Structure 1
Amino acid sequence: MPELDLEAEYNNRERVPEHPAIIAGWAQDAEAYRKARPDAKLDQVYGPSPRNIYDFFPAEQGSPAQRLTALFIHGGYWQALDKSYFSHMARGLNARGFDVVVANYSLCPAISVGGITGEMQALAGHIHRLTGRRLAVYGHSAGGHLTAALMAADWEVQGLPAGLVAAAMPISGLFDLVPLVSTSVNAALGLDEDSARAASPISAPKPTSGRYIAVVGGAESSEYLRQSRLLTSLWQGPALSGELDILEGANHFTVILPLADPSSTLVSSLAGIASDH
């Protein structure tokens, strides 16, 4: 077997040359959704960093009230983008009766991956205290990693309810960060094998309860497919259930587009695991 080219496996922008147009489309759709939702509460503060802010999109009027609050976490390899590209990722669940928080966080190299995980834990606690509800978390790429990290967090140590994250959908997530150490992605992250392992959700004790769906595009690299298969093979238990959903033909950038469509199968799946509480 030839040695795997990890740089090629993890360099999504090289794999999808049309990514600039897709990302520009995200920004346009996100701005349009913000304009269509004057009831949204934008740039709410959850921590001391300038990027510790979030947008709150309430459920659409007339939609069925849900018991969980949803949290969306964007990608960008922990070093790029912000919430302004992803407002429309709330649309699908808003129409299904969920309040949705769209997160922002500090970026590497100004902060470590572990530090970003800590910021997302702080945001999750903030949302719980604000709403009194447990969470359904979904995120893309680096946000998929952070989604899994939140599901695996020990919330009781932080004075929060066990099983705070009751449902999760990591999309194109990375759960074993060790392969990134030798790639150009790591220039901003500054990981070594020990810190990469410590930041990997699969290295933490697995959640004891909850439901999740690990989503990945069928046109993504073999490593991205492996990572989602790995999570679903490891994270199973009496009160923990997960499944793998490979979206045929979707690449790393198109895989999240169905989240903006309330009638999509992806939104139906996410609402399904988030409604069963």
Structure 2
Amino acid sequence: MTGVDYEVEYNNRARVPENPALMAGWARDSAAYREQHPPQRLTYGPGSRNTIDLFKADRDGPLVVFIHGGYWQALDGSSSSHCARGLNAHGISVAVPTYDLCPNVTVSDIIGHMRAAMRELAKLGRPLVVSGHSAGGHLAACMLATDWPAYDATLPRNLVTAAYAISGLFELEPLVGTSINKALGLDRAAARAASPLFWMPPAGTTLDAVVGGAESAEYHRQSRTIVEVWGRAGVATRLGIVPDANHFTAIAPLADPDAPMVLRLKELTQM
């Protein structure tokens, strides 16, 4: 594409000046939910950030994973604890992993960290529905498109049955010339290699790509494109819009047990 100002399109903090207050609200709500519903702490590697908070509930069946955003360079799982609230109210357990951040590691490394986290969660013996926000939406799509037996011969091919990507990034090349890439260090080849849009589509699985109604045209294009491309290749895809939501408010429905977003995730655990 030409004539697109990718800095304007992808710099969400500049687009939403009130983002500090919104993220402070995440931290406050998450701390309150952890106090109310203390998680079990799991580890999937030796690093201090190779952790998973498991918010257990009483229903059997698939586990929902929620992967935090932050452009692979900010935040951790503790900022997203409140995102377990809606599903926990339906008896569905939610796992919230943390990962190492760029520039200490690469985006490719982070994909590997999330695969290791899924392998650890596989020990629970339950299929996984992987959701995520922003960079976490990218990672959710990567998990859906992973060939699990090739990664680890002990893992089932259908370890991840569905992905629910909120404000996801599926084609990373547009970021290369932006300020966001200072920490990521992506060149065009590395960006393409880390873009699930160009991976083998995981036919027979389900992907929902959801974007806030007030997000940039590029975020809408990203979600629309993966829905179209993967849909033609046999993935059951669905495009969703969170009305009036910006990049930071698009995940707010996850805390509401009655929100359409939560009810759709519940439905994905039953498919």
TM-score (norm 1): 0.94
Deviation of the 1:239 alpha carbon: 5.7
Gaps of 5+ in 1: none
Q: Return closer, same or farther for 1:212/1:274 CA change in 2, 3 Å cut-off.
A: farther
Counterparts of 1:104-253 in structure 2 under 5 Å? 104-129=98-123, 131-157=124-150, 158-159=152-153, 160-236=155-231, 240-253=235-248
* CA–CA distance in structure 2, aligned partners of residues 127 and 237 of structure 1: 30
* CA–CA distance in structure 2, aligned partners of residues 33 and 254 of structure 1: 18
- The amino acid of 1:68's aligned partner reads P
SS of the aligned residue for 1:182 comes to coil
* CA–CA distance in structure 1, aligned partners of residues 18 and 183 of structure 2: 23
SS of the aligned residue for 1:205 comes to coil
Corresponding residue for 1:15?
15
On the 8 A contact 1:176/1:200 being kept in 2, the answer is yes
Q: Deviations over 1:115-136 (max 9, x none)?
A: 000000000011011x101101
SS of the aligned residue for 2:161 comes to strand
1:260 aligns with 2:255: yes
SS of the aligned residue for 1:137 comes to strand
Q: Deviations over 1:45-66 (max 9, x none)?
A: 110222101111001x5xxx24
> How many residues align structurally?
269
- The amino acid of 2:129's aligned partner reads A
SS of the aligned residue for 1:32 comes to helix
On the 8 A contact 2:201/2:235 being kept in 1, the answer is no
Q: Return closer, same or farther for 1:2/1:192 CA change in 2, 3 Å cut-off.
A: closer
Corresponding residue for 1:32?
32
1:78 aligns with 2:72: yes
Give the % identical residues: 52
* CA–CA distance in structure 2, aligned partners of residues 146 and 238 of structure 1: 20
* CA–CA distance in structure 2, aligned partners of residues 174 and 239 of structure 1: 20
* Aligned pair partner of 2:84 in 90, 109, 115: 90
Q: Return closer, same or farther for 1:237/1:222 CA change in 2, 3 Å cut-off.
A: closer
- The amino acid of 2:50's aligned partner reads N
SS of the aligned residue for 2:165 comes to strand
RMSD, aligned α-carbons: 1.4
On the 8 A contact 1:212/1:273 being kept in 2, the answer is no
1:55 aligns with 2:50: no
* CA–CA distance in structure 2, aligned partners of residues 69 and 138 of structure 1: 11
Corresponding residue for 2:40?
41
TM-score (norm 2): 0.96
* CA–CA distance in structure 2, aligned partners of residues 151 and 173 of structure 1: 13
Deviation of the 1:2 alpha carbon: 7.5
